[in-house]
Structure 1
Amino acid sequence: MTTHRRLLPGVFVGSHAIAEGLLTRKQLRTRSYRRLVQGVYADPGLPVDHGLRCRGAALVLPDGCAIGGHSAAAWYGAPFARAGDPVTVLCPEAIRWRGPRGVAVHHTTLLPEDVRLVDDVPVATATRTAWDVMALEPLTTAVAALDAMVRAEHLTREDLFGMAERGAGRWGVSKVRRAAPLVDPSAESPQESRLRVCLVLAGLTPVPQYEIEHHGRFVARVDLAFPEARLAIEYDGAHHFEDDQMAKDDDRLDRLRAAGWRVIRVTAADMRDLDALLARIRAALAAGEGQ
C-alpha cells in the first residue's frame, strides 16, 4: 500500500481528501476517522473535544465568518463547551450560509476588526465573544464563561459594564445588561459560577472565595459563604470523589466545623433540583440566625 493511503493526520474535509486521491470513499467509511461536523473528519488518535470540533468547522467556513460565542470563549480562558455542543459560528448577514450539521450559525453584523486568526482558526475577538456569550447563551452559562475570561485578564468587568452602557439598541443588549453585573472573576470553576448565579437570582447574597479564620489562624477558603450565619457552600466536582481528595476534604470539613462553621456540599445532582437545594440553604440560613 502506498504511503498516501495511510491514515491522514490531523483534521481534513472528507470530499477534498477523496478528490486529491488521499483515500477512497470506502476507506473514509470503514476506517476509524472521527466525524467532527458533517463532511469534516479527524485522525482517530486525536481526542475529540469541542476545540477539535471548532478546528473542523473552521475548514468549511466561508471567508468573513468566525468561530464565536461560547465556542470562542475557550480561546480567552473559559473552559471549552461540551464536546457534543454545536459549534457556534458568526456569519455576516450578507453571507447566506447555513452550515453543516453540528454547526449553529448566527447571522449578524460582523466587521473585520471583530475577528482574529489563531492557529489558522478565525475566532471572534475577546470583546466580541463576550457580547455574544451574554446575548446568545443561558445566563448561568454566560456568567461562568465570563468569570473565567475576566479571571484570565482578557477583559475586565469595566469592559463589560461599558458594553452594557454603550449597547443601547443593539441586539441582545437586555441580556448583556443582566449578565454583566453578575460576573465575578474570583470564581474558580464554571459550576461554582453557576451555583453563585442561581443563589443571587434567588435573592441570596453569598460572598465568593471567602477566607475563614479561627483564633487568628487561617482555616480554609470556601467557594461561597454567608459569614453572619457561619454557613459555607462548597461545590464538589468529580475530582472531589477521588480517594486522596476525599480524605483531604473530610479533614478540611472537620477544621471548618471545629471553627464553628456549617458546610453544605453541593454536587451536580443537587444542581438538577435547584428548588430543593435552595430550600436546604434557606433552612440552614434560618437556623443560623442569631448565632
Structure 2
Amino acid sequence: MDTTWNTHLDRADRDGRIPAGNGPLYTRRVLPAVTPMTRGSLLEHGMTRTMLARHFTTLTRSVLMLRPGLTPADLAEVPRPVPGASALHRALPYGRGDTPAMFRFDGISRARGHSLIHPGAVVSHWQALGLHGVPHWSDSAPVVLLSSASKVRNRSHSVAAGQHPTLPVFRELPGGLEPVFPDPLFRSLPVVPASTSAAQCLATVMNRSHGWWTPDVPGYRPEDVRAVQLLDSLWQATLLTEDDVLSACRGKVDRHRLETLIAVSDHGAQSPQETILRLVVAPLLPTGVTWTSQVRVSLRDHATILDLACEELRVGLYYDGRHHVSSEQRLTDFEQYQDLRDDGWEVVRVDSDLLNRKRAKLLRQVSCAISRAQGSGAAV
C-alpha cells in the first residue's frame, strides 16, 4: 500500500479517529475530523451571513458544515479563526468511507449533525456501525435515531429516505438499551452497541431495505452476497465475534440462514471485492482443499501476502485495487509475480474488470492455474 496513505492512516489513528478492530488500519473507518456546527453558534462566534454562505453548506435544519474540499488557505480572508478550520490540517480531514450519493454528506457527519438538534437521541443502524469502525455502506443509508420523544416515523428504506436527505429517520427507543459513546469528537453522542448495530444492519440487508450493487454470484441471492460482505467487514473492522453476532441477531434474522452465511464468511477478507472473488472461485477447487485469505509467503529476499491462496496446491490470487495503477506499484507487482512463479506458485492477478465484466476469462485463468498446479505434483 502507498506509504503516504499509510502515513495518513497512522496519523488519524494517533488522533483516535480509527475505531478498534481486528484488521489493519486500512480495513477500518476513519472518522471525519471536520465536524458540523449550528448556524447559531457560528453567528455567536462572529461569523457573518456572507461568510457562512461562502464557506459553509447546509447539512440539515440550522446545522452547517465547512464545504468539502476546503483548505486553510481558502479561509485566509476570514479575519477571525473559523471554528473547525483547524481540522483541515488533520490527516484525512473528511474521514474515509463510501460515496454518500443522494445523501450528500457522509453518514458520520449526518449523525453528528442531527444529534445537535436532537440531543439525547441514540444513533443506531448503519451510522452506528460506521462509528464502530465499518468503513462501507453507511454513507448511502439514512440516519436512524432512537428516541422516546414523539417523532414522525418516516421510512427507513434507503431509496425512499434518500428523497429527503436532510431528515433523519426516528424509531422508538427500546427500554433497557444501554448506549455507548465511541465518537472521540462527539463524546456525548449516544450510540447503540456494536453488536446491536450489526444485527440491525444485517436485518436491513436481508429484508432488502438497504443494499448496494453486487455482481452475480452463482448459488447466492444478492442479499446473501451483501450479508457475507458485511460479515467479512465486521470480522476485520470491529472486535465482534461470531457468537456476538448470532446472539444479537436473535429474533431479527433467521438463525439457520445466518449460520449458513457465517460459515462462508472469512475473517481474513479485507475488502468487499475480495469477498466477491472468494465466493466466485470457491467451486473451482477440488474436494479436500480450501482457499485461505491473506496468506503470507516468504520469498528469497522479501515476503508477500496473497489475498487468496490454496496453500496445498500453491495457487495464489491477488486482487488489485485502485492503488495498483501507479507505475511503481505495477513494477512491484510484476517482481512479486515472477518471484512467486520461481518459488513454485501459480498466480493469477485479478482486478475489478476481470472480476465483474470478464467473469468467464477469470474462471478460465484460475481453473488453468489449478490444473497446472495439480499437474506439477502438488500435494492434495
Q: TM-score, normalised by structure 2?
A: 0.58
Correspondences of 1:86-165 after superposition (within 5 Å): 86-91=141-146, 95-98=151-154, 100-102=164-166, 105=169, 107=171, 110-117=174-181, 118=183, 119=186, 120-137=188-205, 138-151=223-236, 154-163=239-248
Correspondences of 1:5-154 after superposition (within 5 Å): 10-14=35-39, 16=40, 28=52, 30-37=53-60, 40-44=63-67, 45=70, 47-49=93-95, 50=106, 51-61=108-118, 63-69=120-126, 71-81=127-137, 85-91=140-146, 95-98=151-154, 100-102=164-166, 105=169, 107=171, 110-117=174-181, 118=183, 119=186, 120-137=188-205, 138-151=223-236, 154=239
Which letter maps to 2:324?
Answer: H
- Structure 1 residue 37: deviation in Å? 4.8
| Counterparts of 1:209 and 1:103, CA distance in 2 | 41
Q: Encode CA deviations 1:136-176: one digit per residue, 9 max, x unaligned.
A: 23444544444344345622223234446xx2xx2333564
| Counterparts of 1:186 and 1:253, CA distance in 2 | 21
| Counterparts of 1:68 and 1:20, CA distance in 2 | 34
- Structure 1 residue 239: deviation in Å? 1.9
**Secondary structure of 2:169's aligned partner:** strand
Q: Superposition RMSD on alpha carbons, in Å?
A: 3.9
In structure 2, do the counterparts of structure 1 residues 103 and 95 end up closer, same or farther at CA, with 3 Å as the change threshold? closer
- Structure 1 residue 198: deviation in Å? 4.4
Which letter maps to 2:129?
Answer: A
Correspondences of 1:241-280 after superposition (within 5 Å): 241-273=325-357, 275-276=359-360, 277-280=362-365
| Counterparts of 2:367 and 2:114, CA distance in 1 | 45
| Counterparts of 2:167 and 2:179, CA distance in 1 | 18
Q: Encode CA deviations 1:112-151: one digit per residue, 9 max, x unaligned.
A: 5253233233322111122123222344454444434434
Q: Which has the higher contact order (CA 8 A, sep 6+)?
A: 2
| Counterparts of 1:95 and 1:112, CA distance in 2 | 20
Matched, 1:227 2:311: yes
In structure 2, do the counterparts of structure 1 residues 275 and 269 end up closer, same or farther at CA, with 3 Å as the change threshold? closer
**Secondary structure of 1:79's aligned partner:** coil
**Secondary structure of 2:235's aligned partner:** helix
Matched, 1:208 2:293: yes
Q: Between Structure 1 and Structure 2, which shows a larger proportion of strand residues?
A: 1
**Secondary structure of 2:191's aligned partner:** strand
In structure 2, do the counterparts of structure 1 residues 17 and 279 end up closer, same or farther at CA, with 3 Å as the change threshold? farther
| Counterparts of 2:171 and 2:258, CA distance in 1 | 18
- Structure 1 residue 283: deviation in Å? 4.6
Which letter maps to 1:181?
Answer: A
Which letter maps to 1:34?
Answer: T
Q: TM-score, normalised by structure 1?
A: 0.72
In structure 2, do the counterparts of structure 1 residues 64 and 153 end up closer, same or farther at CA, with 3 Å as the change threshold? closer
Task: Point out where structure 1 has 5 or more consecutive residues left out of the alignment.
Answer: 1-8
Task: Note if contact 2:36-2:65 (Cα within 8 Å) is conserved in structure 1.
Answer: yes
In structure 2, do the counterparts of structure 1 residues 274 and 227 end up closer, same or farther at CA, with 3 Å as the change threshold? farther
Matched, 1:171 2:171: no
**Secondary structure of 2:353's aligned partner:** helix
Which letter maps to 2:125?
Answer: G
**Secondary structure of 1:121's aligned partner:** coil
Q: Encode CA deviations 1:26-56: one digit per residue, 9 max, x unaligned.
A: 765x423134456632123455452333322
- Structure 1 residue 224: deviation in Å? 0.4
- Structure 1 residue 225: deviation in Å? 1.0
Task: Point out where structure 2 has 5 or more consecutive residues left out of the alignment.
Answer: 1-33, 71-87, 96-105, 155-160, 206-222
| Counterparts of 2:115 and 2:136, CA distance in 1 | 16
Which letter maps to 1:58?
Answer: S
Task: Note if contact 2:284-2:367 (Cα within 8 Å) is conserved in structure 1.
Answer: no
Number of aligned positions between the proteins? 273
Identity percentage over the alignment? 25
